[in-house]
Chains A and B, each alone.
Chain A
Amino acid sequence: MNRRDLLTCHVADKSRPAASLGPGYYSNGEFTTHEGKKVRFYDELIKGKISIINFMYASCDKYCPRSIACLAKVQDLLGDHLGRDMFMYSFTLKPDMDTPEKLAAYAKGNGARKGWYFLTGNEFDLTTIRFKLFRLDDPLLDFSVDVHASMLRIINDNNSHWSSWVLPDPPRLIREAISWVEPTKPFAERVKENAALQKQIDQEAVINGPQWAAYKRSRGWPEVTAKPENPEGVKKLETLLGRKVSGGGSWVRAALDRLGHAPARAES
């Protein structure tokens, strides 16, 4: 028994990951996939998985096409995670119109791979999950259909991490938002990523060129303007203020002077 189990052993339902909000939160209504399979929402779609959930309807031509096209690109970025530990669920907003057959055609038309399911069910269950996952706490918006075409909810049931993003944004951003619900990577890996990021930043600094010193020169600012021992600058300020300049501390000035002034950025 791990630490988390000890803390949550008062929870009667042992059929879910200890950190999960469980069917009590997510609800457990029955839906039908575009393949005609009956599934329970929590037990079969959420439990123990990373789920990427959005709402759509097959005949939606105003808001959905770009969102679905974007998700089609996201599924490629998920690689072999899709269908293994990550699943994409597109629920219909119009269960009366969207039969499993219609959704199957829609899935095929959008190139859905295994692991991306289009689901329909009864109105009550669909509205329930819509409120549980996409709630804005404002009835005007929560009941509105067009609000939901652009919302994406990402859930990891194992650690109760949620994130979200907007459709249709660049797929790489959505892939990143999915990574935030994944367990934190091992430290060594993160250190490696950090080093890579630093390399990238340094590269950009080289490309962007010597910003600081050269730019100061181009604007006619004296290069050592703020060097505290710059008597001209200090005099200018004191004339402006009509008093002696305080702050900065003479010990800071003296120390700076000893260090000598070097430009903050090396020029390339």
Chain B
Amino acid sequence: MSTIEKEKSKKKKRTQSPTGPGWTRRSVLKAGAAVGAVTMLTSRKSRAQSLPPIPTQPPDCTPQPTNSPATTPFVSALPIPPVAIPTILFPFPTLAADTANGEAARANHQDWTQFYPFVQYNIEVQPTMHQFDPAIPSTYCWGYNGIYPGPTFLNVYGVPIVVRFHNNLPVDNIGFGDNNHTTHLHNGHTASESDGFAGDYWSPGLFKDHHYPNVYAGFNEFPPIGDPLEAQHTYWYHDHRHSFTATNNYRGLNGMYLIYDDVDTGFEFAGQPPQALRLPGPYGIYDIPLNFTDKLFCSDGQMYATAPDTVPAGDKFIVNGVIQPYFNVQTRKYRFRFLNSGPARIWAFNVVDNNGNPIPMTVVTTDGNLLPSPVEVIQTSTTPTLQALTVYVSQRYDVILDFTNATPGTSWYLINSAAQFVNNAAEPDPAPGVAIGNVVMAFNITGPPPLPDQSQVPAVLTTLPNITAPLANLFATRVWNFNFDVIGTEGDPLNGTGKVFNVNGLTFDPNRPDALIQQGSAETWLIRNRFPGTGWTHPVHIHLEEGRVLDRRNITVNPTTGVITINSQGVPPLEQGRRDVYPILPNDEVLIFLQFRDWFGKYMIHCHNLGHEDALMLTRWDVTTGPSSTVTSPVYSDGTPNTGNGQVNSGAQTNITPAMTNLPPTFNLNPPGSSKLERPGSKGSKKGVKA
């Protein structure tokens, strides 16, 4: 018997329901209650009633298909991911890891009693079959609760939750993907042990409780649940197991997570408290998540991976798990939550009507954070950055589309102007000047809504937190170089390497923090892409807190003199609000402001192009009691001292510069305008604040 076969038989024994046939879930629960506790012996089956069965894994397809099977666009309706339903967890969640009952090792939950999670969710991470298109046979996927995309969490600020992630991935997995799993809530304000740190993965058969307190950042200064100006509304959760993030996400491990509060209530009806924005809602009806990805399929319907650890550029546009869907809309406003779930594609979206005329897209949030004012994106815009909605991997944009004046019976189209071949069945182009291969989805206008549209898009959405004081009191500016180049000194046999993806000249080591940051401090970070390989853009993501873009700069090097010039370009309109993903274009650098409040422990800064991330363009930094560190890391990762030679492309270098306070003159720290929310210090509010 081979090792694998042995594994299989063991797995079979283990995953068989201990209760045996003839037991219903109800009786199991009763029995469990009777004996006082249901231990780890409860099977997946007894934990959840309505989960899809675990399929047998079909063989991965070889050889590589040139392109996916032909599909007809707009035959499938856009699926809306179901809402995650709370449950009661057995064994009961605990402060310390319940390893005796099968919980994966972790540090104690921080602020567990303070934000005690009465609301509990159970998520089974498991294989499943999913049909992406009627013309393509069912595809073997991995999904949260066995569905792709995973269920959508709807939450409210101030109501803490705990989510138990059971790893039911196959122990005998063949081909791409890794059965060790960890989930990151992007970009939840979450304590380190629940953050899904890339090195904290757990293996099949174990579970882990992630504590999501659903608080705003800054809850120590602004009790009890933080600074409401730090609100974020659109999150997503996804697999973050390092070295396999791309393949595990390609298999299907991601979903959305929305948090509402009294400003963004999720409802549009009149008569709500005055601070309510009344954006289109509720979820699933007028508030629609759009999870964009692309895949390459074999003729038997299986996903193809170029090599067992690399995912290819897909030739099928997929929204919420369906290829080129249609969505029936009424003549009124809708809120769409755009999410690029990767693995690597950069989308450039536009909307056109049935005559090919451009339609404005009104952006209200960036990475889930409300913009000070809505920003209009339209093909004919005079601002180059607003001519298309460019969505890098992991970025989110909430977009209002107004169909009020659309003609019933016609269709509008969401197009990706970053053209890409899609193997469609012979289909005519849907609108003049619109190639069918560029169309991501169609909006079919059905008719007037049954009830009048009560939603609104206020001219002022929020006020940004006042950062004047922390900005005047920075610890330093920390530099992060995201490069693809030689580490160390080029050509030095003792200190040189080949070209690799690196951050400040170091690759990922889950046990090595490259920055120690004192809890409660503020820094500006300069993220730079000077050696972009072959012109790669790195969408850099920072865990824990949202940042403010202070400046975007272009670096030019005079080829003869070698003089480096840095040209400030100011802050583009879509980065006026707060962000957590900062795309760094080749030869660009971005200066951002960050605060490190509330939690301790390990967090990350990494490139969110999932391929680059898996090639170790990932770095750990820690929030500690202090003091903050001033070099990248005291030693190079193989133990040699980090001496540093001052080159920009050198790994071993000091990554601290004196705080950069020379902000561009165009930068407006606190954009004027009224707000529904005001904090002291920023006077001039019109409503909501008592004098």
User: Which A residues form the contact surface with B (CB < 8 A)?
Assistant: 2-4, 7-8, 11, 18-19, 21-22, 24-25, 61-63, 65-67, 70, 132-133, 135, 137-138, 140-141, 144, 146-151, 158-171, 173, 177, 180, 183-187, 190-191, 194-195, 197-198, 200-201, 204-205, 209, 211-212, 215-216, 219, 221, 225-228, 230, 233-234, 236-237, 239-243, 245-249, 252, 255-256, 259, 261-265
Find out whether the CB atom of A3 lies under 8 angstroms from the CB atom of B8.
yes
| Contacts A150-B498, A205-B108 given; does A66 touch B493 at CB 8 Å | yes
Find out whether the CB atom of B171 lies under 8 angstroms from the CB atom of A184.
yes
Closest-CB distance, B253 to chain A (whole angstroms): 17
Find out whether the CB atom of A226 lies under 8 angstroms from the CB atom of B203.
no
Closest-CB distance, A7 to chain B (whole angstroms): 5
Residues of B within 8 A of A227 (CB): 114, 223-224
Q: Does B605 contact A (CB under 8 A)?
A: no
Taking CB atoms and an 8 Å cut-off, the chain B residues in 244-262 that contact chain A are: 244, 261-262
Task: Give the interface segment out of B120-128, B156-164, B350-358, B662-670.
Answer: B156-164
Q: Does B10 contact A (CB under 8 A)?
A: yes
Q: Residues 171-194 of chain B: 1 if any A CB is under 8 Å from the residue's CB, otherwise 0?
A: 111111011100000000000000
Find out whether the CB atom of A70 lies under 8 angstroms from the CB atom of B638.
yes
Find out whether the CB atom of B107 lies under 8 angstroms from the CB atom of A205.
yes
Closest-CB distance, B454 to chain A (whole angstroms): 21
Which of A62, A146, A148 lies in contact with B493, CB distance below 8 A? A62
Find out whether the CB atom of B223 lies under 8 angstroms from the CB atom of A2.
no
Find out whether the CB atom of A248 lies under 8 angstroms from the CB atom of B158.
yes
Give B506's nearest chain A residue, CB to CB: A169
Q: Residues 256-274 of chain B: 1 if any A CB is under 8 Å from the residue's CB, otherwise 0?
A: 0000011000000000010
Residues of B within 8 A of A8 (CB): 59
Residues of B within 8 A of A171 (CB): 638
Which of B62, B97, B176, B496 lies in contact with A66, CB distance below 8 A? B496
Describe B's contact surface by its main secondary structure. loop
Residues of B within 8 A of A246 (CB): 158, 261-262, 273
A–B complex contacts, Cβ < 8 Å, 30 sampled: A2-B5, A7-B59, A21-B62, A62-B493, A63-B498, A137-B313, A141-B499, A151-B498, A151-B500, A159-B4, A160-B174, A162-B176, A166-B500, A180-B178, A180-B243, A183-B172, A186-B7, A201-B106, A205-B107, A212-B111, A216-B220, A227-B224, A230-B223, A234-B224, A241-B677, A245-B225, A247-B225, A248-B225, A252-B158, A256-B113
Q: Does B639 contact A (CB under 8 A)?
A: yes
Closest-CB distance, A115 to chain B (whole angstroms): 19
Interface-central residue, B97, B106, B308, B312, by most chain A CB under 10 Å: B308
Residues of B within 8 A of A194 (CB): 99, 104-105, 202-203, 206
Residues of A within 8 A of B114 (CB): 226-227, 256, 261, 264
Measured in the bound complex, the distance between the Cα atoms of B95 and A212 in whole Å is: 14
Q: Does B219 contact A (CB under 8 A)?
A: yes
Closest-CB distance, A101 to chain B (whole angstroms): 23
Closest-CB distance, B265 to chain A (whole angstroms): 10
